[in-house]
Amino acid sequence: MWKICKYKHLLLGLLALVLILGVSGCGNQPTPVGQQAQKEFDITAYQNNDFLITPQKLDEMLGSDNLVLLDCNKPDIYASEHIPGAIGIGISAFSDTSGKIGEPGWGTINNKEDLQKKLASFGIDNKKTIVFYSDVFKGPGADGRAVWQLKLAGMDNVKLLVGGLSYWKQLGYEVTKEVAAPKPVTGVVLKDYDQSYIATKEHVFDNLGKQVIVDVRSEGEFKGSQKAGEPRGGHIQGAVNFVWTELLNKDGTIKTPDEIKTLMASYNIKPTDDFVVY
């Protein structure tokens, strides 16, 4: 069984690809210690940008009681370095990983009751700004999935850090090894899950040949490698292998909208397509 997400338009689909949407723009920010002035990413270059936060904006919020900062890297990466105040939650904090990989329901979002408990234990509520990040080249980019999962549950106060940890470090901002402890809360409210965010195995099977199917895994996995833990090699019939890292710059930031559209066109994918990503 594959873990699958369904999207109606380009930008939310790119979130599922664990991408950070932003391009270089105008407006200088305070210069990080020892670094030259950097232009802040212009997240307004993208139509749907409410879930994005730049390193400059996050730096201004560090230490605030209204911020919950969550590191979605693997535990060893978190232990080696992370943004001050970040709580390490790993790569599948909000997913059901009971049982074995490939069994029905494995890897899907926790049920509503369990998710509410998990969020409360991390100090997440409906009022604070919740920021997720990872090092997308090491982590492996689970922050995008976490944002998508909470968006699916109706939360509108979640953010994805532009460029992740790699870009944060490039700009000269501080990292630490000091472990941050969560401050549990109560009263988090979730909506019923928005099923339009999800494509089930049955949906994909019934629509083979009717929808664009995008396999964002490595070429090796697409061709049958099971080194990443898949219980079964290969890919969904008719899927296009569009590796998600093709959309990233070397610093972890996302390429320009025009570059993205050109890449999509090379795979015969249009922004207006109804496509499935896995």
List the single range of 17-21, 104-108, 241-245 with lowest mean pLDDT: 17-21
State the pLDDT confidence band at 236, using cuts at 50, 70 and 90: very high
What is the tens place of the pLDDT at every residue in 195-213? 888 888 899 999 999 999 9
* pLDDT of the residue at 137: 82
Mean pLDDT for the stretch of residues 230-244: 92
State the pLDDT confidence band at 54, using cuts at 50, 70 and 90: very high
Mean pLDDT for the stretch of residues 128-137: 94
Q: At 54, phi and psi to the nearest 5? A: -85, 160
> Under a CB-based contact definition with an 8 Å cutoff, are residues 198 and 107 in contact?
no
- Would you give the end-to-end CA distance of the chain in angstroms? 11
* pLDDT of the residue at 100: 86
* pLDDT of the residue at 112: 96
206 CB contacts (<8 Å, ≥6 apart)? none
Higher-pLDDT residue of 109 and 137 is 109
State the pLDDT confidence band at 91, using cuts at 50, 70 and 90: very high
* pLDDT of the residue at 248: 87
pLDDT surpassing 60 at residue 193: yes
List the single range of 127-131, 136-140, 171-175 with lowest mean pLDDT: 136-140
Mean pLDDT for the stretch of residues 26-46: 57
* pLDDT of the residue at 271: 85
Q: Which two tokens stand for residue 166?
A: 């790699």
pLDDT surpassing 60 at residue 251: yes
Q: Which two tokens stand for residue 10?
A: 């380009």
Q: Is 227 left (phi over 0), alpha (psi -120 to 50) or beta?
A: alpha
Helices (H), the chain: 10-16, 55-61, 75-80, 112-121, 142-152, 164-170, 201-206, 219-222, 257-266
pTM score, two decimals? Answer: 0.85
Distance of CA 94 to the CA centre of its chain: 12
* pLDDT of the residue at 139: 62
Q: What is the number of other CB atoms lying within 10 angstroms of the CB of residue 95?
A: 20
Percent of the chain with pLDDT over 90: 62
Parallel/antiparallel/unpaired status of strands 23-28 and 39-42: antiparallel
Cα separation, 71 vs 173, whole angstroms:
15
160 SS3 class? strand
Cα dihedral across residues 57, 61, 66, 69: positive or negative: positive
Mean pLDDT for the stretch of residues 149-171: 95
pLDDT surpassing 60 at residue 11: no
* pLDDT of the residue at 38: 67
Percent of the chain with pLDDT over 70: 86
Across the chain, mean pLDDT equals: 85
pLDDT surpassing 80 at residue 30: no
Q: Which two tokens stand for residue 240?
A: 């296009």
pLDDT surpassing 80 at residue 14: no
Domains of the chain, each with CATH number or no CATH:
14-170 (3.40.250.10), 195-277 (3.40.250.10)
